[in-house]
Amino acid sequence: MRIFDPHIHMTSRTTDDYERMAAAGVRALVEPAFWLGQPRTNVGSFTDYFDSLVGWEPFRAGQFGIRHHATIALNPKEANDPRCREVLGVLPRYLEKDGVVAVGEIGYDSMTPQEDEAFAAQLQLAVEHELPALVHTPHRDKARGTERTLAVVRESGIDPGRVAVDHLNEVTVAAVAGSGCWMGFSIYPDTKMTAERMVHILREFGLERMLVNSAADWGRSDPLLTRRTGEAMLAAGFSDDDVDRVLWRNPVEFYGQSKRLDLADVETDATFEGNSILRGGS
Ligand SMILES: [Zn+2]
């Protein structure tokens, strides 16, 4: 099983997690820029973080044969802090970098006017830089937040096929399916979405434009839940090809729209055996 995790915050994970992920079949991932727990007080603190997303983390992942890409943005939560707004001005520089495959995470946290503004401005950056956009939906008041998200995406004029709306559930999936946007699901140990519920959604809505991630972050989370979802799909009668489509080809198609995905050497099974040897020797 080859796995591409399209949304995982490796900054908050240990090196042991990289090792376990590689052993479970994760060969590529996308790490979206997000909040760091401790509020940031100036732009420099963002640029150091962005630099680590395009420098240090790809190096850390590479030691386990995992290809690391990033998305860059001012996250919804910190869009509300006036000390962080200046970040919008440094984004264009990062959006030109190799390994940056989308603008994200953008969207809503508490649905404030400040978030409206940052969200719309960053969708425009995605259009200008010809990048896809990764959109976070709020955890509170999710249905309304998702509707409002889709309205802003429509108004922006961005091609919905270049937008992934993430953290969906049974309540919000239908609206996004009808919008033409990609549908992202974050599988968590005890909140948001489980592997079994995910399988039901795939049965009902099909495999097209579906993205499954572990989103592993500061909260209780598990970077191997992509693998668990693949196993749950097989147990429910989906084929190996179906699993490969959801866990590999779909994220490759979505982020491939950036024309910056670098998957040379990790796509083929021959390389994967190579990785196993490498892991065995470490
Ligand atoms: Zn996230």
Per residue in 145-165, pLDDT (tens digit) is 999 999 999 999 999 999 999
* Residues whose CB falls within 8 Å of the CB of residue 31, separated by 6 or more in sequence, listed in order: 8, 9, 10, 11, 53, 57, 68, 69, 70, 71
> What is the C-alpha to C-alpha distance for residues 133 and 220, in angstroms, rounded to an integer?
26
Distance 187 CA to ligand 1 centre (A): 12
User: What is the percent of the chain where pLDDT is above 90?
Assistant: 88
Tell how far the Cα of 136 is from the centroid of ligand 1, in angstroms.
Answer: 7
CA distance 105 to 118: 11
Crossing angle of helices 195-205 and 225-235, rounded to 10°: 60
Q: Bridge-partner residues for 136, per DSSP? A: 107, 166
Cα(104) to centroid of ligand 1, in Å? 9
What phi and psi values does residue 205 have, to the nearest 5 degrees?
A: -105, -5
The whole-angstrom separation of Cα 183 and Cα 273 is 31
Q: Read off the pLDDT band of 265 (50, 70, 90).
A: confident
Q: How far is the CA of 273 from the centre of ligand 1 (A)?
A: 30
C-alpha 265 to ligand 1 mean position (Å): 27
pLDDT grade for 282, boundaries at 50, 70 and 90: very low
pLDDT tens figures, 66-105? 999 999 999 999 999 999 999 999 999 999 999 999 999 9
- CA of residue 178 to ligand 1 center, whole Å: 23
Q: What is the CA(75)–ligand 1 centre distance, in A?
A: 9
pLDDT of 279 reads 45
Position of tokens 């099983």?
A: 1
Q: How far is the CA of 282 from the centre of ligand 1 (A)?
A: 30
C-alpha 65 to ligand 1 mean position (Å) = 23
Is the model's pLDDT at 168 over the cut of 90? yes
- From the CA of 230, how far away is ligand 1's center (Å)? 21
Q: What is the pTM of this model?
A: 0.94
Residue in 210, 252, 254, 208 with CA at minimum distance from that of residue 229: 210
